[in-house]
């Protein structure tokens, strides 16, 4: 999608070679393979040159290594005035239901409030530009519903295999958890600029 909106060269990084191969295949099919390439790598050890990137775009991944660790490691790879756009699951209110907190802790993610993450972003040396929560459709229409459909196809394909059925149950629990507590947590986009002028401030949508 980024390659369709932007004219520059894009490298997509993931630790799993199968995912990277899939990206390369899609790029080829859409005629984008000249300027969109996949690379297998770890986001905590980026295989890029320092000060070489105009933009780092990362959705739903930084919490695997921690918001602060990711932001501070990645900044060195951005050019001056380079931008970062990153989503991270965050608390939207000061109420943190135990069941939701346990789900995220078990998934290896620690959630913080939006204002705390903005402060982390600024402390890491970025000019904060904007933060906004993803809408409900991003979770339901664009994620839980297609995933449920894909899982149902797998259940049929693998003849009611128990592993797939357990995965289907996990998907349903995650969707139910979201339905119950969606006012308290969500994915939030944080956008910032790599600048020395950390006095500049952005806005909160």
Ligand X SMILES: C[S@@+](CC[C@H](N)C(=O)[O-])C[C@H]1O[C@@H](n2cnc3c(N)ncnc32)[C@H](O)[C@@H]1O
Interface ranges with ligand X (CB under 6 A) = 14-16, 19, 42-44, 59-61, 64-65
Integer Cα distance of 128 and 203 in angstroms: 8
To ligand X, the closest distance from the beta carbon of 16 in angstroms equals: 5
- CA torsion, points 171, 67, 120, 183, in degrees to nearest 10? 0
Written as six digits, the tokens of 184 are 């308290």
109/122 with CB nearer ligand X:
109
Sequence-separated (6 or more) residues with CB below 8 Å from residue 143: none
107/200 with CB nearer ligand X:
107
15/161 with CB nearer ligand X:
15
To ligand X, the closest distance from the beta carbon of 41 in angstroms equals: 6
To ligand X, the closest distance from the beta carbon of 110 in angstroms equals: 15
Q: For the chain, give me the number of helices (H) and strands (E)?
A: 8, 7
Does residue 55 contact residue 83 with C-beta atoms inside 8 Å? yes
136/196 with CB nearer ligand X:
136
To ligand X, the closest distance from the beta carbon of 57 in angstroms equals: 9
Token pair 């070679």 is found at 17
Measured from the Cβ of residue 193, the count of other Cβ atoms closer than 10 Å reads 17
173/200 with CB nearer ligand X:
173
43/127 with CB nearer ligand X:
43
Does residue 133 contact residue 83 with C-beta atoms inside 8 Å? no
To ligand X, the closest distance from the beta carbon of 12 in angstroms equals: 9
Integer Cα distance of 31 and 153 in angstroms: 29
Integer Cα distance of 56 and 46 in angstroms: 11
To ligand X, the closest distance from the beta carbon of 82 in angstroms equals: 19
Written as six digits, the tokens of 205 are 């949508």
């Amino acid at each position: 999608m980024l390659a369709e909106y932007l004219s520059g060269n894009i490298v997509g990084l993931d630790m799993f070679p199968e995912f990277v191969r899939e990206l390369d295949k899609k790029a080829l099919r859409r005629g984008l393979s000249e300027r969109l390439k996949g690379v297998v790598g770890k986001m905590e050890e980026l295989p890029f040159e320092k000060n070489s990137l105009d933009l780092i775009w990362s959705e739903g991944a930084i919490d695997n290594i921690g918001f602060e660790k990711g932001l501070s490691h990645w900044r060195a790879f951005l050019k001056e005035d380079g931008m970062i756009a990153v989503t991270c699951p965050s608390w939207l209110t000061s109420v943190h239901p135990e069941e939701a907190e346990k789900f995220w802790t078990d998934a290896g993610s620690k959630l913080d409030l939006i204002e705390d993450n903005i402060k982390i972003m600024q402390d890491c040396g970025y000019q904060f530009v904007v933060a906004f929560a993803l809408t409900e459709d991003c979770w339901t229409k664009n994620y839980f519903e297609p995933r449920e459909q894909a899982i149902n196809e797998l259940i049929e394909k693998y003849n009611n295999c128990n592993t797939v059925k357990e995965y289907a149950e996990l998907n349903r629990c995650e969707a139910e958890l979201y339905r119950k507590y969606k006012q308290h947590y969500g994915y939030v986009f944080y956008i910032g600029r790599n600048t020395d002028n950390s006095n500049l401030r952005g806005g909160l949508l």
